[in-house]
Amino acid sequence: MMTEELKAYLFAEEKPNEAQERSLHNFIIETLGHDTEIEWEKSDKYSGGFALKIGETLYDWSTKGRLRQLRDAVTGVSASEEVIPLIKDKLSEWTPKAMAEEVGEVLTVGDGIVTISGLRHVTYGEILLFEDGTRGMALDLRPNEIGCILFDDDECIKEGSSVRRTGKTAGVPVGNAFLGRVVNALGVPIDGGGAIARTGYRPIESPAPGILDRQPVNEPLETGIVTIDSMFPIGRGQRELIIGDRQTGKTSIATDTIINQKGKGVICIYVAIGQKTSLVSRLCETLYKNGAMDYTIVVSASAADSPSLQYIAPYAGCAMGEYFMNKGQDVLIIYDDLTKHAVAYRSISLLLERSPGREAYPGDVFYLHSRLLERSAHLSDDLGGGSMTALPIVETQEGDVSAYIPTNIISITDGQIFLETDLFFAGQRPAVNVGLSVSRVGGDAQTKAMKKAAGSIRLDLAQFREMEVFTQFSTDMDESTKNQLTYGNGIMEMLKQPQNHPYTQDEEVIMLTVAQYTRFKGIAVKDVKKFIAGVTAYIKETNPNLIERINSTGRIEDIDRQDITSAADKYLARFVKSAG
């Protein structure tokens, strides 16, 4: 006989007869290698069969248990209405079997957090299924109990409810059918467009590619924003942080970058974390209007969703991106924003009674984001050569980039685009601070044409900002200083760019080349935008072969620069004359 603690308990509607008890004893001997005493308890929970519990192991042979077993065998996911037709189709060809399940018991529940006793063999990140069908994930493993976060409401979970392991880690469905759709953090469509056919299922947590699995970041991912493409180029496989105070245009830069990928074979994924549903809806409308939704997936864990869904949302979006990256495609993923992601994780950690650290964040908050962002890479040719470029967004308070979360993410990423509040309210949009922004990939992620056209524009702007500070107290300036200020003001005006209007590569190259050549002599600052738009249209009309060469080769030869400057001379004379 076994000890009293490991006695077998039989739950059924009716007490089994002697023949059935002998069969049960034989089953126990086959399973455990020895017999044990069986105690019978009447239970309505296991109708149409029985359930045999030995320690923490449950053999559920009730009607409900066998149907659940069938569902998992057919779909590999937890219950939903969409799988019922699949179950009916497979019912005739399926044979059930006695399967052991490790079960636990709910100790406490509240605020989306459940503590559970038992389940000694559960693994970190494993999906748990409660008896009412509610799903959760093991996130805190302690000696005698585990902490679980819930993906559904906790209304039906009570103290004493049973919990079973699924043996599966948290994951999301993936496939080409997700393009153009809006889904939640579990991959369930929330746009009213019906069910989505999936071709695979990926875990939300997976190891980042190793060093030998990567290759250098050397192919540009053009944003269509001349400020960024000329001075802080982003390469495919890079991680470039967009950082700034609220309402400074961070999401607008991300949206413009998505719109600019039209026709370039880049799959875009936008992950909204803790955003208002109305803002996500407005962003989707913008993408639809500009024809960008066809190659975009929107993953939304809004402010109304639980911290658990906000916590897994970026990992779910990353898993969807990895599906395409592993097929050799290029992916752009935007996390908007990781500040709210860290806050959601802090809420979960405090409810799980983890020790708080700096700013009440748990000690592993750095690992929270590093393991996410490290999954972005440019894979080696042996692995298909796909890439995933990450644009994480972080919100600062009054421009403080030295706060805990901003400094963490700055140290993880390959550069940052800093948006300044003063520039934004001064009308300089996008409000990129040239001095604090940087791309650690640099010219490796620029085409030859863009590198040559950009020239020394960043240095010129830095000198202009410095000179502007000193000359504001003086009215007596020499001609050289006046020309430098004219050119600097003209550049700042040229870099202003309307929202949802990204430039093509040829437009950016022409703008920068014309700016360096003319230096805006004789042009009022208020007329710079008009002049640049006019000369660009004039060159496109008079020299279409030049445009085609720039876009197809990514290069600009000396003869091409001569063509541009010659056209600029002609148009400048006409423009100055017409301006009076």
Looking at residue 72, its pLDDT comes to 61
pLDDT of residue 79: 41
* Residues 71, 83 contacting (CB under 8 angstroms): yes
Structure tokens at 295: 């190659």
The conformation of residue 239, written as its DSSP 8-state character, comes to B
User: In the block, which residue shows the tokens 């009674």?
Assistant: 353
Phi, psi torsion values for 4, nearest 5 degrees: -60, -35
Q: Which of 213-217, 331-335, 419-423, 468-472 has the lowest mean pLDDT?
A: 468-472
- CB-CB contact of 300 with 356 (8 Å): no
* CA 531 – CA 575 distance, rounded (Å): 7
State how beta strands 438-439 and 415-419 pair.
Answer: antiparallel
pLDDT of residue 475: 64
What number is the average pLDDT over the span 344-358?
94
Distance CA 42, CA 171 (A): 37
Mean pLDDT of all residues in 336-359: 94
- Residue 343 pLDDT grade (very low, low, confident, very high; cuts 50, 70, 90): very high
- SS3 of 525-541: the string is HHHHHHHHHHHHHHHHH
State residue 435's pLDDT score. 86
Closest to 163 (Cα-Cα) out of 205, 183, 135: 135
pLDDT at 345: 97
Contact residues for 549 (Cβ-Cβ < 8 A; gap 6+): 555, 560
In the predicted model, is pLDDT for residue 3 greater than 60? Answer: no
Domains (ranges, CATH) in the chain?
Answer: 4-171 (2.40.30.20), 172-189+219-446 (3.40.50.300), 451-578 (1.20.150.20)
What span, in angstroms and rounded, lies between the C-alpha atoms of 312 and 306?
10
- The most distant pair of C-alpha atoms in the chain lies apart, rounded to whole Å, by 111
What's the confidence (pLDDT) of residue 70? 61
What pLDDT was estimated at residue 67?
66
- Phi then psi for residue 335, to 5 deg, are -105, 110
- Helix axes 404-412 and 365-373, enclosed angle (nearest 10): 30
User: Please, which residues have CB within 8 angstroms of residue 470's CB and are 6 or more apart in sequence?
Assistant: none
Model confidence at 478, pLDDT cuts 50, 70, 90, reads: confident
Most confident of 71-85, 397-411, 448-462: 397-411
CB atoms within 10 A of CB 279: 15
| Alpha carbons 349 and 361: distance in angstroms, whole number | 8
Secondary structure string (H, E, C) spanning 168-212 = EECEEEECHHHCCCEECCCCCECCCCCCCCCCEEEECCCCCCCHH
Q: What is the pLDDT of residue 1?
A: 33
Residue 93 has pLDDT above 90, yes or no: no
Please confirm, yes or no, whether 440 is among the known catalytic residues.
yes
DSSP state of 222: -
Confidence category of residue 113, pLDDT binned at 50, 70, 90: very high
Least confident of 73-87, 109-123, 421-435: 73-87
| Predicted pLDDT of residue 155 | 84
Residue 483 CA to residue 491 CA, distance in Å, equals: 12
**Is residue 354 within 8 Å of 362, Cβ to Cβ?**
yes
On the question of pLDDT at 74 being above 70, the answer is no
Parallel/antiparallel/unpaired status of strands 100-110 and 162-169: antiparallel
Between the CA of residue 240 and those of 206, 296, 335, what are the distances in Å? Answer: 21, 19, 11
Least-confidence region, from 93-107, 190-204, 394-408? 93-107
Q: What's the CA angle centered on 199, arms 281 and 168, to 5 degrees? A: 90
What pLDDT is attached to residue 56?
Answer: 67
Query: 34: which residues sit within 8 A by CB, 6+ positions away?
Result: 2
The structure tokens listed for 452 are 């040559």
Q: Is the per-residue pLDDT at 78 higher than 50?
A: no
Mean pLDDT of 443-465: 87
Query: Per mean pLDDT, which range of 96-110, 193-207, 483-497, 499-513 is the poorest?
Result: 96-110
pLDDT interval class at 88 (50, 70, 90): low
Q: Which of these is catalytic: 214, 354, 371, 440? A: 440
User: Comparing 482 with 470, which gets the higher pLDDT?
Assistant: 482
Residue 549 has pLDDT above 80, yes or no: yes
CA dihedral 572, 574, 576, 580 (to 10 degrees): 180
CB 308 within 8 Å of CB 137: yes
pLDDT band (50, 70, 90) for residue 2: very low
- Return the pLDDT at 150: 94
Given a contact cutoff of 8 angstroms between Cβ atoms, the answer to whether 299 and 273 are in contact is no
Give phi and psi for 466, each to the nearest 5.
Answer: -70, -45
Q: Which two tokens stand for residue 162?
A: 């049973």
3-state secondary structure of 540: helix
The DSSP string of 368-402 is HHHHHHTT--BB-GGGT--EEEEEEEEEESTT-TT
The rounded Cα 70 to chain-centroid distance in angstroms is 34
Cis-peptide, bond into residue 143, ω within 30° of zero:
no
Please report the beta strands in 274-329, taking only residues with DSSP state E, as ranges in sequence order: 296-301
Write the pLDDT tens digit of every residue in 535-547: 999 999 999 999 9
Q: Is the pLDDT confidence value at 557 over 60?
A: yes
- Collapsing DSSP to helix, strand or coil, 135 comes out as strand
- Amino acid of residue 213: D
Higher pLDDT, 5 or 37: 37
